[in-house]
């Protein structure tokens, strides 16, 4: 099957991949659904700049006019930022229909991994991954991100699973699917806004070259699937666990009361938490994305040497 029929890789990204240079994929849901304009565009461009400063080529990923895009222009990022939530939030189940209709889609962790892999990109930096939602034993609400990590050979650098989730069940699910969960400089799973969760990771790794080697060996062994690297939010931007946990509990109750479910859940909860915390959670969110971009770029540089 010729995936190039549907895939547009920017000349810069295509050249870097072909030459074995370091490339880092970035999602676009954070642009269209993550924060308001123009802050969303400013943040997206700053993340790309951070990746360049650390020696790698950024490849922001989206679906525009039915084309799978690996490497967006500034104009395309601006377009997604201005369109905002009018852009479809695209998970695996949405890709075929959006492409067939010639529609736009902002890529989640799942679809960013899929398109990155198609384009030959091996490392992806994001904020936090989805996971098993609280109450999933009743709702069966489990993010497609976890299945994608089990199948698609891309390293995902994040600040842990979003703390609106059931972190214990999320870790159990990843273990069942054979996904290694690495703590960068920590033995504890970071919880997005906070550096600690009370749950342990599978392995602690303290240097980008070690991360690159572990992922390289995983692929050479033919094990398939991805690797999850959890990188704690910098201490100065970490939020008080008591404050954020109360905000999350209040937001979860509000979602239940309003009948919010499915893919509407995460945007609702994050917006509600932002309101409850007076915007502090959004500032933390931006800083942890910057932090993950730095680590992903450094790791991509090391991976390109192997």
Mean pLDDT over the full length of the chain: 93
| pLDDT reading at 174 higher than 70 | yes
Q: 246 catalytic, yes or no? A: no
Domain ranges of the chain: 1-121, 128-306
C-alpha dist (Å) from residue 127 to 31, 100, 143, 163, 192: 12, 29, 15, 12, 8
CB burial of 178-202 (b: ≥16 within 10 Å; e: otherwise) equals ebbbbbbebebbbbbbbbebebebb
Q: Does residue 77 register a pLDDT over 70?
A: yes
Whether pLDDT at 65 is above 70: yes
Average pLDDT, integer, range 278-292: 88
pLDDT for residue 2 is more than 60:
no
Task: Determine contact, residues 90/108, Cβ cutoff 8 Å.
Answer: yes
Class of domain 1-121: alpha beta
Q: Mind giving me the DSSP string for 250-287?
A: HHHHHHHHTT--GGGHHHHHHHHHHHHTTTHHHHHHHH
- Per-residue pLDDT, averaged over 148-177, amounts to 94
- 27 is annotated as an active-site residue: yes
Can you tell me the distance from the alpha carbon of 269 to that of 201, in angstroms, rounded to the nearest whole number? 25
The pTM of the full predicted model, rounded to 2 decimals, is: 0.93
pLDDT above 60: residue 89: yes
Q: Which CATH number is correct for 128-306, 3.10.180.10, 3.30.160.20, 3.40.1790.10, 3.40.50.2300? A: 3.40.1790.10
Token pair 């029929």: residue: 5
Give the pLDDT mean for 59-74.
98
Compare 109 and 2 and report the one with higher pLDDT: 109
Q: Residue 1 above 50 pLDDT? A: no
Rounded distance between C-alpha atoms, residue 287 and residue 190, angstroms: 14
- Least confident residue range of 19-28, 141-150, 203-212, 252-261: 252-261
35: which DSSP letter? S
d(CA 229, CA 125): 10
Q: Quote the pLDDT of residue 256.
A: 82
- What's the mean pLDDT in 88-106? 97
CA–CA separation, 23 vs 304, rounded Å?
Answer: 9
Same CATH topology for 1-121 and 128-306: the answer is yes
Task: State yes or no: pLDDT of 131 exceeds 90.
Answer: yes
Residues 78 and 232: their CA atoms lie apart, in Å, by 29
Q: What is the mean pLDDT of residues 281-303?
A: 94
Q: Regarding predicted confidence, which is higher, 2 or 172?
A: 172
Catalytic residue among 48, 69, 78, 162: 162
pLDDT at 253 over 80: yes
Query: What pLDDT is attached to residue 206?
Result: 98
């Amino acid at each position: 099957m010729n995936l190039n029929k549907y895939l547009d890789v920017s000349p810069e990204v295509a050249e870097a991949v072909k030459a074995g240079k370091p490339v880092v994929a970035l999602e676009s849901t954070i642009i269209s659904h993550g924060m308001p304009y123009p802050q969303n565009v400013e943040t997206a461009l700053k993340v790309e700049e951070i990746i360049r400063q650390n020696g790698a080529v950024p490849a922001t990923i989206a679906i525009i006019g039915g084309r799978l895009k690996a490497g967006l222009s500034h104009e395309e990022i601006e377009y997604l930022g201005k369109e905002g939530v009018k852009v479809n939030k695209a998970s695996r189940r949405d890709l075929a229909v959006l492409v067939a209709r010639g529609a736009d889609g902002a890529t989640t962790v799942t679809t960013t991994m899929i398109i990155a892999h198609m384009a030959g990109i091996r490392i992806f930096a994001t904020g936090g991954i989805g996971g098993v939602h609280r109450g999933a034993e009743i709702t069966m609400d489990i993010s497609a991100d976890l299945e994608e990590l089990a199948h698609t050979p891309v390293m995902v650098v994040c600040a842990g699973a979003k703390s609106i989730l059931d972190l214990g069940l999320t870790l159990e699910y990843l273990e069942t699917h054979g996904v290694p969960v690495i703590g960068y400089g920590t033995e504890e799973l970071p919880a997005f806004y906070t550096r600690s969760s009370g749950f342990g990771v599978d392995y602690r790794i303290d240097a980008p070259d070690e991360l690159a080697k572990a992922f390289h060996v995983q692929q050479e062994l033919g094990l398939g699937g991805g690797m999850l690297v959890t990188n704690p939010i910098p201490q100065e931007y970490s939020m008080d666990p008591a404050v954020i946990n109360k905000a999350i509990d209040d937001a979860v109750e509000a979602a239940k009361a309003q009948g919010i479910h499915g893919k509407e859940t995460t945007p609702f909860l994050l917006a509600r938490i932002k309101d409850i915390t007076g915007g502090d959670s959004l500032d933390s969110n931006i800083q942890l994305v910057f932090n993950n971009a730095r680590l992903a770029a450094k790791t991509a540089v090391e991976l390109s040497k192997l």
